[in-house]
Amino acid sequence: MADVFISYKKEDSASAERVAAALREEGFSVWWDNELTPRMAWDAMLEREIGQAAAVVVLWTPRSVQSEWVRTEAHYGQDHGKLVPALIENCELPIAFMLRQTVTLTDWKGNRADRNWRKFLTWIADLTAHAASTSGAPGAGGAAANPYRDVVARLPSGAPVVDGAFVNASTPAGTAFRDSDGLPVMRILAKGEFLLGSPTSDRDRSSTEEPQRRVEIPRPFAIGVFPVIGAQYRKVMGGDLDPKEQRKKPGLLGWFGGKTSASADVAVSRDPDTPITHVSYDDAEVFVERLSAATGERYRIPSEAEWEYACRAGSRSRYSCGDSISGTQARFGTTEGPVAPGAYPPNAFGLYDMHGNVREWTADVWHESYDFTPLDGSPATQGHSAMRVVRGGSWSDDAVLLRSAARMRATPTSRVGMIGFRVVRELA
């Protein structure tokens, strides 16, 4: 069994041999068909080797994209979650693989320190480590295990934050990363299932939190470790909000469901280290569009299901920390505004302020129940409601609105002092 199976077109043998030799120098075992003879049952051997390999490396060139065999092997690798596509000559990729992350090695000359080559090695190392593991997906500490990743920062917990350029669809769940200095720190969550909504046993259950539905999150995704802070917002947007909008402090009651323990007419800090507030859903959408354009990655607002999955972090209790919550675990029930993220303990997924501090926009259109909520983790976008779902509770809310299942709503143009947002990045 080899670590790496290389798929290529015969006319590209020299390039395949160069890649194979370099991978062996890095300590990976490699199989490619240069030693096959006409007498061998080559189709059976190919099938066996590609099935046993931890990673299927496909070398895209103008010739290989026309090869039925290469495309078939690429589909096999993709279907089995072990495809590592590498562009070694400029060409138009097959349409089925255009949306896949692809490592560009068109200018690689064999330099082992080359950034794109290290991205390539990182991906292969993730797959080989996963294939060798018998204990499931690594947790938060798994980020530093890959020797090809750069640690660029540390979280309040001490966990490493790695360079987002070395993150891919096979990077272990629990890995924290950022795509550039000053941008949101993200953490990868594994795919999984959970119960959306409140059980009948919850004394504070609202009719809008039912019926409970089992939702499947079908693929890993990355979500912000913290809500977006002021400095990050200004870095991406190129400035602050309109000062006139900053002075608008509309009342809460009538816009949101549930209880509140403080007036909306409270000064909201513009500290660059605290979560950005007075941002509408429309503002948040512009932010993720600009962030995506700046990084070349696909950022978006989380769906309501993704948000609750991230908040619960595997729990079924009222809060991720149990059936009650205190002032040592979250920011709520105060008139003093939000605080910098990291002041309270993270949940089991390593995410901060999923309860309290600021409410957070989600991508779902408001419905009075979960009857229209998709079961695949995607947002509910159908309907005629003018509202979007808001989650998490804020610094001014009572504990009941901080519950993992608690739902609120606001019009997409609302800018108020207790709503912020966090972002999701897709993993191609």
* Residues making up the chain, counted from first to last: 428
**DSSP-assigned beta bridge partners for residue 57:** 6, 84
State phi, psi for 59 to the nearest 5 degrees: -100, 105
Res. 316 pLDDT band, cuts 50 70 90:
very high
Res. 238 pLDDT band, cuts 50 70 90:
confident
Query: CA angle, 420 as apex, 417 and 423 as ends, to 5°?
Result: 175
pLDDT tens per residue across span 333-383: 999 999 999 999 999 999 999 999 999 999 999 999 999 999 999 999 987
| pLDDT at residue 133, as a whole number | 79
Delineate the domains of the chain, giving CATH numbers in brackets: 4-132 (3.40.50.10140), 138-428 (3.90.1580.10)
**DSSP-assigned beta bridge partners for residue 189:** 221
Q: Do 277 and 229 form a contact (C-beta atoms < 8 A)? A: no
pLDDT tens per residue across span 141-190: 444 479 999 999 999 889 999 999 999 989 999 999 999 999 999 999 99
Helix (H) or strand (E) holding 17: helix 13-25
Place of tokens 């060409």: 91
Q: Do 185 and 235 form a contact (C-beta atoms < 8 A)? A: no
Q: Burial level of 405, CB count in 10 A (0-12/13-18/19+)?
A: buried
| pLDDT at residue 404, as a whole number | 98
Residues 6+ apart with CB under 8 A from 255: 409, 410, 411, 414, 416
**Which of the pair, 191 or 243, is modelled with greater confidence?**
191
Give me the helices (H) in 275-395, please. 281-295, 304-312
| pLDDT at residue 79, as a whole number | 95
The token pair at 359 is: 């409410």
Mean per-residue pLDDT, 86-96: 96
Place of tokens 């119960």: 195
Query: CA angle, 160 as apex, 285 and 308 as ends, to 5°?
Result: 45
